[in-house]
Amino acid sequence: MRKSLIINDILKEICKGKIVSGGLLASKLGVSRTAVWKAVNALRADGYFISGLGGGYVLAPENRRLCGEQLSAVTGENIVFFEETVSTNEEIKSLAELGEKEFTVAVARAQSGGKGRQGRKFYSPEGGLYFSVLLRPALSPADCLKITTAAAVSMCEAIEAVAKKDCKIKWVNDIFIKDKKVCGILTEGVLDGESGGLKYAVLGVGLNVSLPKGGFNSAIEDTADSLFQTNAAPSLVYCALLDNFIKCFKNYYKDIKDMPHLESYKKRSYLDGKKVTYVKDGKAHTATACGISEKGELIVKEKGKEILLSSGEVRVSGYE
Ligand code: BTN
């Protein structure tokens, strides 16, 4: 028990990018230098890459093992970190019910029951960045679409800043790089039983950062990709992606009712000009996508008539 506390405390101290001497760590944590040395060795054995120049320690830029301490240090946010959990959206719901503050972020290295839209599963092996943010917005349940669209733009901006890749948004919540999905977003609104208003919302994001060790599963191997063609991008890259995302999203979120992200969303629309299929009232339709409305709906043209879609799934014709 005591040992794991020292380990967490040491991680907290050495993930800030500056070398910390063994002596300073020992006195800060009230333990012997030998205890520090042993804890650092345990962390190394656990896969953390710690440089140890001149008797000091720092989590090296080459470190590939993500941890909550580093995510907290880089983002400054209230991070709840899981090596693996069923679903970070579910973790945030539990925290919300306990009264946790807005913008608490649950992050997992892997999920065993990641949830996607339309009741689907979201494949969440190691290599991705899976996180959920607790929001307590003054919005109506129908306005949750604004959260999803702001999150999509924020993730595009984060990817462009960190990975230097151009992103498109496939309405409403998928981020594409060169015709392949790299990120999905699931916003869940939880309603207040009495008022029927929004009690809180959970914004869940799953980003394929590195390639999964065994590859993507057969259901998505032709349609999914990751930002980097490596099995393990440095942990600092994950931290920078989350940090950029949160800063960007917070900026949009303060005026979320007015959809300040709309122009940026429209500019990135993947479906514009594409032939699409969708199902409405149990009937399959074929149409051409022609833009995004002022409310974030998809505008499609079918038999010469413009139709607005506010929910549901749209597929590019001939693309499963
Ligand atoms: C989709 O593409 O259908 C949406 C996928 C959303 C996945 C993320 S991963 C983090 C959070 N936890 C979940 O269970 N789902 C979301």
Is the minimum distance from the CB of 123 to ligand 1 under 6 angstroms? no
Q: Find out whether 154 and 162 touch, Cβ atoms under 8 Å.
A: no
What count of residues does the chain have?
320
Q: What is the reported pLDDT for 319?
A: 54
pTM higher than 0.85:
yes
Is the minimum distance from the CB of 75 to ligand 1 under 6 angstroms? no
The pLDDT tens digits of the residues spanning 260-304 come to 999 999 999 999 999 999 998 889 999 999 999 999 999 999 999
Q: Using alpha carbons only, how large is the chain's radius of gyration in Å?
A: 22
Q: What is the reported pLDDT for 1?
A: 36
The pLDDT tens digits of the residues spanning 85-112 come to 999 999 999 999 999 999 999 999 999 9
The dihedral built from the CA positions of residue 252, 256, 259 and 262, taken in this order, carries a sign that is positive
Those residues of the chain that have pLDDT short of 70 are: 1-4, 318-320
Q: What is the reported pLDDT for 317?
A: 83
Q: Find out whether 182 and 123 touch, Cβ atoms under 8 Å.
A: no
Q: Determine the Cα–Cα distance for residues 105 and 281; give it in Å rounded to an integer.
A: 36
Q: Find out whether 128 and 206 touch, Cβ atoms under 8 Å.
A: yes
Q: What is the reported pLDDT for 53?
A: 80
Distance from residue 271's CA to the centre of ligand 1 (Å): 21
Q: Of 172, 194, 131, which is closest to residue 262 (Cα–Cα)?
A: 172
- Alpha helices, H only, the chain: 2-14, 22-29, 33-45, 68-75, 88-97, 144-162, 235-253, 262-267
Distance from residue 54's CA to the centre of ligand 1 (Å): 44
Q: Find out whether 150 and 261 touch, Cβ atoms under 8 Å.
A: yes
Q: What is the reported pLDDT for 3?
A: 41
Q: What is the reported pLDDT for 238?
A: 98
Q: What is the reported pLDDT for 223?
A: 95
Q: What is the reported pLDDT for 47?
A: 95
Distance from residue 84's CA to the centre of ligand 1 (Å): 14
Is the minimum distance from the CB of 296 to ligand 1 under 6 angstroms? no
Q: What is the reported pLDDT for 311?
A: 83
Distance from residue 88's CA to the centre of ligand 1 (Å): 8
Eight-state DSSP code of residue 76: -
The best mutation among 205, 207, 245 to test binding of ligand 1, ranked by most ligand atoms within 8 Å of the C-beta, falls on 205
The helix (run of H) or strand (run of E) holding residue 315 is strand 314-316
Looking up tokens 């940026």, which residue turns up?
264
